[in-house]
Every structure is written in C-alpha cells, then in structure tokens.
Amino acid sequence: MMDKLIFGRYIPGSSLIHRLDPRTKLMGAIFFIIIIFLANNVWTYLTLALFVALAVGLSKIKVSFFINGIKPLIWLILFTVILQILFTSGQTIYFRFGPFILSEEGLINGAFIFMRFVLIIFMSTLLTLTTMPLSLSDAIEYLLRPLAVIKVPVHEIALMLSIALRFVPTLMDETEKIMNAQRARGIDFGEGNLYEQMKSIVPLLIPLFVSSFNRAEELATAMEARGYKGGEGRSKYRQLSWETKDTVTIIAFLGLAVLLLLLKT
C-alpha cells in the first residue's frame, strides 16, 4: 500500500528527462505551477498542453502512469470544476435554478480549471516518475542552501530526509513482521467495521513506534562512533552535475513563460 505511494513512483529509465539534473526538474516543476496561472484563454492552455505533451513524450513513460496519477484526486477536481460551473455568472445564461447558474463563461472556466489540474498533476507526476527520491532530496538540499544564512538547519534537514527515505523499506519490513506476529495471535487486519479496523491498528502501531525509537537511538550511537559531529566541516560524497541540457531546459521554461505573457488576454 505505502509501497506504491512512495516507491512505486520512480520508474528507472535513461530518457533525456531521466538524465536531467534533479535541481532542473524540481525548479522546472515549481516554475511551471507558478506560470500556469498566467494562462487565461484557449491559446495559452493549448501552449501549456503542448509543452507538457512534449515533456511526457521525451520521458518515454506510458501515458497510463500519468492518468493513474490523476485518479486519487479525481473527486477533488470534479468538485472544484462543478462549483466553478455552477457559481460563475456571465452574459450568456443557459439555465438558472435558485443560486445555481449555468452560463457559457462558467462552462469555459470549468474547462480551464480542469485543464489546470490535469497539467499540474502531469508535471509533478513527471518529476516523481523520473527522479529517484534520493536525488530529489539532494536537489532540495541544494536549493535550500541559501536559507542557511537565516539559520535554517539545511544540512540537518537534508540528512533527516535521506535517513527517512533510507529507513522506509526497513520499517515496512518490520510492519509486515509485526502484522504477521499479531495475526498469529488472532488479530484480523482490514476486517469488520471502521471502528474494529482502527482498533486492530493499535497493536501494530505501538510495537512499531517503540522499535523505531530503539532504532533511532542505535543509529545515533553508530553515527557518533563514526565521527559525526554535525554539519560543520563535513564534505559531500554525492555530487550533482549541471550540464548544457539543464541550461537548455531552464531556457525552455523561461521561453514558455514569455510565450504565455504574449498570448494571454
């Protein structure tokens, strides 16, 4: 279950998008989410859609993976779209019922909002499908680095993030073991009504919690024994390398922004 949430996402590959620096991809995805709000007519949305289609095509990942990314959010999207349709008034009104209005403007707005959601999800799914979680945490550390000036513990945050990622499979293994051990003692997981199901989680969470604390303490001792004394004076083994294709990608994003500014009404 959790497996799919976090790790089933990365799909190994060697496409251009896969080989981009994680910083490029992270910055690009964030930039895209910002500039998408510039779009306000058919031409701007068409430009954005073409851009996303190009990126998805370059990643050589099946479109079905992206559509799966939309599924968990479909109700939220539909709800927002319907609200938008029903409460936007305009000049061409087709239908009116109490506070609800069905207008041409409302329909167009709804379609745009829907597009906006889909494009954002496609773009962020593209980021997680083509970037290893570890590379992503490297990128986050790098991009947060300026914040060290205002005393944000960037190094510690990055270390916590990478240790957390490293322990996800370990803790999942452990969860599995505890579940089996509790099943052997007669607990049913995922059966009965909601209350019973929640109650069955308790004997799973408590041992998991206790053992995580023990692990954390042992890990801290091991780190100390290996000479860890905080971020100061530490060098880095993992390195990110910025290449021409990253510069080109960033220019492409900037170009997209300029194009949107020209096309918007």
**Which of 6, 143, 165, 204 forms a contact with other proteins (CB under 8 A)?**
165
Distance of CA 40 to the CA centre of its chain: 25
Lookup: tokens for 195: 């209350």
Nearest CA to 246 out of 22, 49, 62 is that of 22
Segment contacting other proteins (CB under 8 A): 33-41, 73-81, 109-117, 237-245?
Answer: 237-245
Query: Taking CB under 8 A as the rule, does residue 96 contact other proteins?
Result: no
Cα separation of 10 and 4, whole Å? 10
Query: Taking CB under 8 A as the rule, does residue 224 contact other proteins?
Result: yes
**Which of 97, 195, 213, 237 forms a contact with other proteins (CB under 8 A)?**
237
**Which of 62, 177, 236, 264 forms a contact with other proteins (CB under 8 A)?**
236
Q: Minimum CB separation from other proteins for residue 189, in Å?
A: 23
For helices 104-130 and 63-70, the axis angle rounded to 10 degrees is 120
Q: One-letter amino acid identity for 200?
A: S
Q: Which x/- pattern over 3-42 shows residues binding other proteins (rule: CB under 8 A)? A: ----------------------------------------
Residues 121-150 that bind other proteins (CB under 8 A): 134
Beta-strand runs (E) in the chain: 93-97, 100-103
Cα separation of 109 and 81, whole Å? 8
Positions touching other proteins (CB under 8 A) are 134, 162-163, 165-166, 169-170, 173, 214-215, 218-219, 221-229, 233-239
